[in-house]
Chains A and B, each alone.
Chain A
């Protein structure tokens, strides 16, 4: 993974999770932090600290980001007839 494509998320205990930028962008909050033009430190260093989120929770969040990407790409690949089959 190239350095420019990654983001570092830091938990309350100081653990650092390096994940794909695309995965991190699943969260609107992180997306705003990283792309807003306000000249935030986060945008520059591509690091976001979460002093209130514990390590185990942040790990699960990162796993969710990757799952969400995979699910979105799967949904994209379905034809309209296949997509409506899941309708209860």
Chain B
């Protein structure tokens, strides 16, 4: 029977029924792997066009391709150039021509090669700029500030470490950018009372102000506190502010919610008392590395009836002070006593028993507390979400079971350098909401305990097992099978780890950071499994993995296209392996100390071929073996070099050696 030839139907795809907005929603969900969006755009021409119109945020790796990229993506409103090694005035001109009014936010925080001319051009053409990050531009002077002042719609501006900008430049910005809401002048050592005062007077809408380490005094402080909308004020390290200047304040700021006065050495409880009278609606107060926390200081906190979060890191603390804080502060949800000297069971227990709604507690390095405190904490604060107790070495192993028994909502737990054992881990596995678990330098844990974590904590994202070398392959297998959301794992110096562990970890498709220093048993076979399975791998540290050689590098080059940072020190990689890494276009940071198989020529070839390198750490001996012109060329391309002296005894000198017998820690730092 002759088959009738049917007329060709008009080309109709079911996808035409989907409006663009619906496809945009679908694209919003393809957030994680950049390769996914790439695949989407390669399906057909209409998908390509839709993806081009969807893209709002661009984070390119090279500034040379900016023109083509901006032509393809005409709707970009947020341009993050912090990964580009070189951003010149020419690049900024390209941005200003192609983005024009669409551009609302630009991040130039790590770009060093542009000047005020390019900046001026950018600001003139992109009238809708709302957010500019110019941090780390140490060369920019007041002319650049004057250029920024032309951005009339500017709301958020970061000038961290711009030490060449002075009061005059800030004054221009104050006059020009009247809509400014957020300003960070941290480390702008050239700015003083005059500049900050002008900001306070002219930019009345300011909500968030960071004046850390500026040489300001009370002259501008009174002006700042007059701002009607100020919510967030950071005065870290302001040595010019002392008790007398705070006593002179007569104006209160009713809207201030967070105040950071870390490292203000000259402010004692007297000054703080004046301040708290003026800022009664404070929610968060940070007094880290400041004066002694005693009864007098705690009393000054009495006026802060809305205080929810207090951070006293690094301060000397008295028992009576802690008790008083527990009494006066009504509903604390976050307390940080990290590295505080003088925290005892008595004070801490008193504090936690009065605050049953505590959500975050940080008692890192509170070395005097014992299991009694832990019992009180777990008894009272059952809604605890985050507990950091690194180095609380007096707490007995048996006490750790209390954590899992009573604080089952825990999401973040740091028990680095503690006596916790397998029983404790088994109990902690009851915390099914755990996202981050740090078990570094926990010498009493073994596979038996960690297996439970793998079986029960399915939401785990971050696991740190640095130097906990009682663990081995079987628990990592459990982790690999049981924690599909795992993003970061550190198994450094866990000597029994073999390729079997790496093969189980390859099941964690979201893994982006792997640190497996000093694991002598792993080979290129394991590494290949990880690079094939973990496509998002971005940071890899395989220092002192002696069996990793060129074969491992070749697998990485083939499969790990998202690799940004790698540490190859003390491995068996040679010139061939290093050069093969050049095919990973986003590779930015390399550390290669003590390279046994590297020759100067091989290194030179690799450095030249890896076009995106921004940071390279090498042994100082290579500096003289390679031509100066090579370094000059690479530095002009945007790469910075860090040189380390050769370590004489790589296996012994400089490693952290822990003597647990007398519970003392002896450290010598690697050269």
Contact = CB atoms under 8 A, between A and B. Distances in A.
B283 interface: no
B617 A88 contact: yes
Given A79-B364, A79-B391, A81-B390, A87 B416 contact: no
Report the contact-size class of chain B (Cβ under 8 Å from the partner). 20 to 34
Contacts of B593: 88
Contacts of A75: 667, 669
B103 to A, nearest CB: 36
B466 A79 contact: no
B667 A88 contact: no
Pick from B390, B569, B669 the residue with the most CB of A within 10 Å: B669
A87 B670 contact: yes
Interface in B429-475: 438, 440-441, 466
Contacts of B440: 80-81
Contacts of B441: 80
A4 B438 CA distance: 47
Please indicate which of the listed interface residues A75, A77, A86, A87 has the most CB atoms of chain B within 10 Å of its own CB: A87
A79 to B, nearest CB: 5
B499 interface: no
18 contacts: A77-B314, A79-B390, A79-B391, A79-B416, A80-B390, A80-B416, A80-B440, A80-B441, A80-B665, A81-B390, A81-B416, A81-B438, A83-B669, A86-B670, A87-B669, A88-B593, A88-B644, A88-B670
A84 B466 CA distance: 10
Interface of A: 75, 77, 79-81, 83-84, 86-88
B667 A83 contact: yes
- Top 3 closest pairs, chain A to chain B, by CB: A80-B417, A79-B365, A79-B390
Nearest to B670: A87
A86 to B, nearest CB: 6
Contacts of B669: 75, 83, 86-87
A83 B656 contact: yes
B562 interface: no
Nearest to B341: A77
Contacts of B591: 88
B269 interface: no
B311 interface: no
B339 interface: yes
A19 to B, nearest CB: 24
Nearest to B569: A88
Nearest to B338: A79
A66 to B, nearest CB: 19
B391 A80 contact: yes
A64 to B, nearest CB: 17
Contacts of B365: 79
A80 B467 CA distance: 11
A79 B670 CA distance: 16
Given A84-B656, A88-B591, A79 B569 contact: no
A81 B416 CA distance: 8
Contacts of B390: 79-81
